[in-house]
């Protein structure tokens, strides 16, 4: 994730400075900037509607109480908002390749992956974050748990791990974008897959589907498993307790593996000019 030639602090400072400039440039066009914010909120409107229906009509879902289900949904959405802000440009790599941007990235004295991530800032991430934070507030008031610093830290770690899982999945798919065009359809499909199944307790699904969304396509590690630890539903997770508790660390390890594979695959890239 980081360049060894810079300290962690220097790298995050660089991320901040460049993204601040990108955001300032987009804010200059106020109408488009506001539309971007509204797009994030409207796009996640279905999640807000789901939270409202759950609160008004149902006591819970699959043995999970209202607050427990809302915790899954809010953690997934908040982690997604951070993914959109920091990593979602990797899902646009096929478009960057078609536009010929990769040739310039390969010539500049900065890691290619970082240049892709910093190519633009996605304003709609703020809308995602607002929607997720709102659902999280509802969840907090309905969760029957003892709030401790450890619980708060674990939720934060779960959000970080969820962000890394989503970034890792899209990074692995971006390997194909180095060689083939037209992979953006697949990145959109994966985004929809996570949005569809990542907000609910997976134990309501048939076992083969639940296993596929845990081991073949790691949706469960984004929010379901961390929320299971916080709310005491680890017994229904269907995997060893240690693996469930370690889900945030697994998310970080998965991303680092995906990024290493992406860099090893840079040799697959062929310029659009031949």
Taking only the tens place, the pLDDT of each residue in 75-127 is: 999 999 999 989 999 998 888 888 888 888 888 888 899 899 988 888 878 88
Distances (CA, A) of 7 to 3, 166, 257: 8, 25, 21
156-168 average pLDDT score: 96
Instruction: Give the separation between CA 97 and CA 101, rounded to whole angstroms.
Output: 6
- Decide if 202 contacts 56 (C-beta within 8 A): no
Residue 36 lies in a domain: yes
Q: What is the pLDDT at residue 232? A: 92
87 within some domain: yes
Query: Residue 1's pLDDT band (boundaries 50, 70, 90)?
Result: very low
Helix ranges, the chain (H): 8-27, 30-43, 45-57, 66-86, 93-98, 101-107, 112-117, 124-142, 149-177, 184-197, 207-211, 224-231, 241-245, 247-264
Is 3 domain-assigned? no
Percent of the chain with pLDDT over 90: 35
Specify the pLDDT at position 5. 64
The pLDDT score that the predictor gives to residue 32 is: 67
Q: How far apart are CA 145 and CA 232, in angstroms?
A: 9
Residue 211 lies in a domain: yes
Does 182 fall in a domain? Answer: yes
Task: Tokens for 149, please give them.
Answer: 């610093």
- Going by C-alpha positions, the residue among 179, 186, 170 that lies closest to residue 88 is 170
Indicate the number of domains in the chain.
1
Q: Is residue 145 part of a domain?
A: yes
Domain membership of residue 192 (yes or no) is yes
pLDDT in tens, 202-227: 988 888 999 999 999 999 999 999 99
Q: Say if 51 falls within a structural domain.
A: yes
What is the CA 269 to chain-centroid distance, rounded?
25
- The pLDDT assigned to 106 comes to 87
Percentage of the chain surpassing pLDDT 70? 85
Burial string for 224-255 (b: 16+ CB within 10 Å, else e) reads bbbbbbbbebbeebbbeeeebbbbbebbbebb
Over range 6-16, report the average pLDDT: 72
Domain hosting 21: range is: 8-268
Interval 19-57: pLDDT, tens: 777 777 777 767 766 776 676 666 666 666 666 666 667
| Measured CA angle at 74 (ends 59, 69), to 5 deg | 25
Q: What is the dihedral of CA 96, 125, 227, 223, to 10 degrees?
A: -20
Q: What is the pLDDT of residue 6?
A: 65
State the pTM of this model: 0.86
Among residues 48, 193, 190, 167, the alpha carbon closest in space to that of 114 is found at: 167
């Amino acid at each position: 994730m980081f360049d060894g030639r810079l300290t962690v602090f220097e790298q995050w400072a660089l991320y901040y400075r460049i993204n601040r400039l990108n955001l300032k440039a987009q804010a200059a066009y106020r109408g488009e900037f506001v539309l971007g914010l509204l797009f994030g909120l409207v796009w996640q409107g279905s999640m807000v509607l789901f939270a409202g229906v759950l609160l008004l009509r149902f006591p819970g879902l699959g043995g999970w109480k209202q607050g427990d289900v809302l915790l899954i949904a809010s953690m997934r959405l908040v982690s997604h908002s951070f993914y959109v802000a920091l990593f979602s440009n990797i899902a646009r790599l096929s478009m960057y390749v078609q536009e010929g941007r990769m040739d310039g990235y390969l010539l500049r004295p900065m890691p290619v992956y970082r240049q892709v991530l910093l190519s633009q800032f996605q304003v709609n991430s703020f809308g995602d974050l607002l929607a997720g934070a709102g659902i999280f507030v509802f969840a907090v008031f309905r969760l029957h748990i003892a709030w401790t610093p450890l619980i708060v830290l674990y939720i934060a770690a779960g959000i970080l791990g969820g962000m890394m899982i989503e970034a890792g999945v899209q990074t692995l798919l971006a390997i194909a974008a180095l060689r083939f065009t037209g992979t953006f359809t697949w990145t959109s499909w994966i985004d929809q897959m996570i949005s569809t199944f990542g907000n609910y307790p997976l134990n309501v699904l048939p076992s083969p589907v639940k296993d596929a969304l845990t081991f073949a396509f790691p949706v469960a590690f984004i929010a379901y498993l961390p929320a299971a630890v916080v709310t005491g539903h680890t017994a229904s997770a269907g995997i060893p307790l240690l693996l469930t508790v370690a889900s945030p660390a697994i998310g970080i390890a998965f991303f680092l593996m995906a990024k290493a594979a992406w860099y090893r695959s840079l040799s697959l890239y062929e310029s659009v000019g031949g």
